[in-house]
C-alpha cells in the first residue's frame, strides 16, 4: 500500500517540513530561478535540520541557503549557481572549497537515469556518457555493465530513491493533486521515484479547478501538502509571479560577503521570522505585488529584469 490513498493531506508548513528527518536524502523540485521549494527550505532551516543530502539538476538559492545555514552535508546537484547573471553560489562555493560539505556533483541525465531505475523498479540503469568525464570519479557507487547484445561496456548507475521530494506548485487540492506549469524539470520523476512527496502550493483549490487546470503530480504520490502563498519566492512560480531578481542579487552579495552580512540575511528573512507570513511581511506586499506585473505587458515584464 505504497500509494497515499487518503483524501486530506492538507497540513501546516511546520508539520509538513517536520516530516523531513536530519540526514534525509532530499530531492529539490523546480530548477534555477523557477519553482524552488523555498518555503520548505526556509522552514527546514528554522527547525534546525542538519546533515541533508540533496539531489537534483540545476539549482541556486535553495541549495546555497541550506549550505549557509549549515543544514546540508552532501550535495549531488548537477549545478549550483546563479547563472551568468549573478555568478557562482557563494555559500556553496565557500563550503566546497573549505571542505565543509561533500560535493558529489552529478549530471542531469545521470540523475534522470537513476530516478528512472527507482521509478521502474530496476536495480540499475545503463547510461551512454559519463565515461571519460571526471564526474565519474566523484561517484564510486557507479558500476559497469556489458550489453548482452552488442558487447559494449556502459556505465551502470544504481537507483536513486529520495526519502522525500520537496515540490512547490502554483495550485493543488487537499488530496495532494498538484498542477504545475512547464518546465516541470524533474518534478514528475522525483514524485514517482521518491518514497514521499511533500508539497507546498501558492493556493489550495477544489478538485474540479485543479482537474481542469491539469494534474501534473497525482495526490496518491503526495503525503502532505501545505498552502503557502509565494512559497517559491524569491524564485518564480507562474502564472502567479516572476522571479525576484533584486532579492536574489541582494542575497548573492550578502552571501559573498559572508559573516555578518550573511547572518543578517538569514536573521532577517529566515530564522528571525517565526513563519512564512513573517517572511512575506519582511519582503513586503509591494515587492511581492510587483512580481505579478509580468503579465501586464512585455515592457512591464522586461522592466522586472532591467
Partner 1 sequence: MSEATYTIDEWFVVALARTIRDKETVFHGFGSPCAQVAMHLARRTHARDMLLVEGATYAVNPDPPFIPPTGNDVVLQQGAEYRMRFEEFFDAAVRGDVDRMFLSGVQIDAYGSTNVTVVGSIESPKVKLGGGGGGCNLSATVGSLSLWTTRHRAGRTLVEQCSFVTDIGHRTREGTRQELGFTGGGPQWLVTELGVFDYDETGHARLRQMFPDVTIDDVRAVTGFELRVAADVRTVPPPGAAALAALRGIDPLGVRRSEFSPVELARTFHAHTGAACAC
Told to check if 121 binds its own copies by CB under 8 A, we report: yes
Shortest Cβ 191–partner 1 spacing (Å): 11
Told to check if 123 binds its own copies by CB under 8 A, we report: yes
Give phi and psi for 74, each to the nearest 5: -130, 130
Q: Which does 259 bind (CB under 5 to 8 A by kind): partner 1, its own copies, none?
A: none
CA distances from 118 to 65, 159, 161, 239 (A): 28, 5, 6, 32
Residues contacting residue 251 through CB under 8 Å, at least 6 positions apart = 61, 64, 65, 234, 265
Q: Which does 158 bind (CB under 5 to 8 A by kind): partner 1, its own copies, none?
A: its own copies
Choices 18-26, 99-107, 139-147, 243-251; region in contact with its own copies by CB under 8 A: 139-147
Q: Which does 298 bind (CB under 5 to 8 A by kind): partner 1, its own copies, none?
A: partner 1
**DSSP-assigned states of every residue in 167-221:** EEEEEE-TT--EE-PSP-TTHHHHHHHSSEEEEEEEEE--HHHHHHH--SB-GGG
Told to check if 150 binds its own copies by CB under 8 A, we report: yes
Told to check if 167 binds its own copies by CB under 8 A, we report: no
Shortest Cβ 259–its own copies spacing (Å): 44
Specify which residues 79 forms β-bridges with: 58
Which uninterrupted H or E stretch holds 150?
none
Shortest Cβ 83–its own copies spacing (Å): 27
Shortest Cβ 147–its own copies spacing (Å): 4
Q: Please state the separation of Cα 277 from the chain's center in Å.
A: 20
- Cα(244)–Cα(97) distance, rounded to whole angstroms? 28
Q: Which does 216 bind (CB under 5 to 8 A by kind): partner 1, its own copies, none?
A: none
Kind of pairing between the strands at 196-204 and 164-172: parallel
Kind of pairing between the strands at 178-179 and 196-204: unpaired
Q: Which is nearer to partner 1, 84 or 285 (CB)?
A: 84
Choices 47-55, 149-157, 186-194, 249-257; region in contact with its own copies by CB under 8 A: 149-157
Residues that bind its own copies (CB under 8 A): 121-124, 126, 128, 143-145, 147-150, 152, 154, 156, 158
Amino acid at each position: 500500500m505504497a500509494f497515499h490513498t487518503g483524501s486530506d493531506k492538507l497540513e501546516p508548513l511546520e508539520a509538513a517540513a517536520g516530516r523531513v528527518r536530519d540526514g534525509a536524502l532530499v530531492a529539490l523540485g523546480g530548477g534555477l530561478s523557477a519553482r524552488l521549494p523555498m518555503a520548505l527550505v526556509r522552514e527546514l532551516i528554522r527547525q534546525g535540520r542538519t546533515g541533508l543530502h540533496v539531489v537534483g539538476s540545476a539549482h541556486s538559492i535553495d541549495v546555497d541557503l541550506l549550505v549557509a545555514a549549515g543544514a546540508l552535508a552532501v550535495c549531488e546537484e548537477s549545478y549550483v549557481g546563479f547563472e551568468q547573471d549573478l555568478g557562482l553560489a557563494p555559500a556553496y562555493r565557500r563550503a566546497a572549497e573549505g571542505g565543509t560539505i561533500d560535493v558529489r556533483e552529478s549530471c542531469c541525465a545521470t540523475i534522470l537515469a537513476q530516478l528512472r531505475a527507482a521509478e521502474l523498479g530496476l536495480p540499475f540503469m545503463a547510461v551512454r556518457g559519463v565515461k571519460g568525464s571526471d564526474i565519474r570519479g566523484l561517484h564510486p557507487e557507479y558500476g559497469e555493465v556489458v550489453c548482452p547484445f552488442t558487447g559494449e561496456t556502459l556505465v551502470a548507475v544504481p537507483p536513486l530513491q529520495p526519502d522525500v521530494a520537496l515540490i512547490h506548485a502554483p495550485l493543488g487540492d487537499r488530496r495532494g493533486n498538484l498542477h504545475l506549469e512547464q518546465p516541470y524539470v524533474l518534478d514528475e520523476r522525483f514524485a514517482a521515484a521518491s518514497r514521499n512527496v511533500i508539497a507546498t502550493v501558492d493556493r489550495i483549490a477544489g478538485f474540479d479547478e485543479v482537474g481542469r487546470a491539469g494534474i501534473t503530480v497525482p495526490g496518491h504520490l503526495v503525503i502532505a501538502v501545505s498552502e503557502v502563498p509565494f512559497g517559491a519566492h524569491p524564485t518564480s512560480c507562474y502564472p502567479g509571479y516572476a522571479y525576484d531578481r533584486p532579492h536574489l542579487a541582494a542575497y548573492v552579495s550578502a552571501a559573498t560577503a559572508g559573516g555578518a552580512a550573511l547572518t543578517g540575511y538569514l536573521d532577517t528573512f529566515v530564522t528571525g521570522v517565526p513563519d512564512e507570513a513573517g517572511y512575506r511581511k519582511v519582503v513586503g506586499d509591494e515587492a511581492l505585488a510587483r512580481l505579478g506585473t509580468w503579465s501586464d505587458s512585455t515592457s512591464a515584464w522586461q522592466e522586472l529584469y532591467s
